[in-house]
């Protein structure tokens, strides 16, 4: 069975899926944007578990429990800071998405929700990031038969339109 990819405008912290993906920083200790929102909604247990993980490299991902979130797991994926596109940002971003799908497969997650990684304070252009996201998730899903549904969680109407356009191709 081929996994279904879709987009919806939603607060990722309210999504009842097997795993939500956090657009994390390398420390995994919380931050602004979606990262801070996930940490606040999950409660202090998430922070405690993240402290035991000793960070995460850019382009990689690590998994924790979901704590007070409706999601069973949080997959913390670290995307790159945008420096104009000539420092391997696309490869690092693709790697973060792919690493998240690998963890979802390993932990038998059927449903996964992604935010738009690196497009907030890290400054990655939204349309370029969405292209990388959809392409790399589709590629990773070919080796992740357990994952049945991936939802790209749009923060605003602009994100929603960008992902709808890409997914309709």
With CA atoms as reference, report the closest residue to 118 among 49, 31, 46. 31
With CA atoms as reference, report the closest residue to 156 among 118, 124, 115, 123. 115
Catalytic option among 11, 35, 86, 159: 35
Bridge partner list, 152: 7, 114
Residue 79 and residue 93 in contact, taking contact as beta carbons nearer than 8 Å: yes
How far is Cα 123 from Cα 126, in angstroms, rounded to an integer?
8
157 annotated active-site: no
Question: Helix, strand, coil proportions of the chain in percent (round to 5)?
Answer: 40, 20, 40
| Residue 112 neighbours by CB distance under 10 Å | 30
Residues with catalytic function:
35
């Amino acid at each position: 069975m081929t996994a279904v990819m879709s987009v919806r405008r939603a607060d990722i912290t309210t999504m009842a899926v097997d795993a939500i993906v956090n657009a994390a920083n390398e420390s995994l200790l919380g931050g602004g944007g979606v990262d801070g929102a996930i940490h606040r909604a999950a409660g202090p247990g998430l922070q405690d578990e993240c402290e035991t993980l000793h960070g995460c490299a850019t382009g990689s991902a690590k998994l924790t429990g979901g704590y007070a979130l409706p999601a069973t797991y949080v997959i913390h994926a670290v995307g790159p800071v945008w420096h104009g596109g000539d420092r391997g940002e696309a490869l690092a971003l693709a790697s973060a998405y792919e690493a998240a799908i690998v963890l979802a497969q390993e932990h038998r997650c059927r449903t996964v929700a992604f935010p738009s990684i690196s497009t907030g304070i890290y400054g990655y252009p939204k349309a370029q990031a969405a292209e990388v996201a959809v392409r790399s998730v589709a590629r990773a899903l070919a080796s992740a038969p357990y994952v049945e549904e991936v939802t790209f969680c749009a923060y605003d109407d602009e994100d929603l339109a960008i992902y709808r356009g890409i997914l309709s191709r």
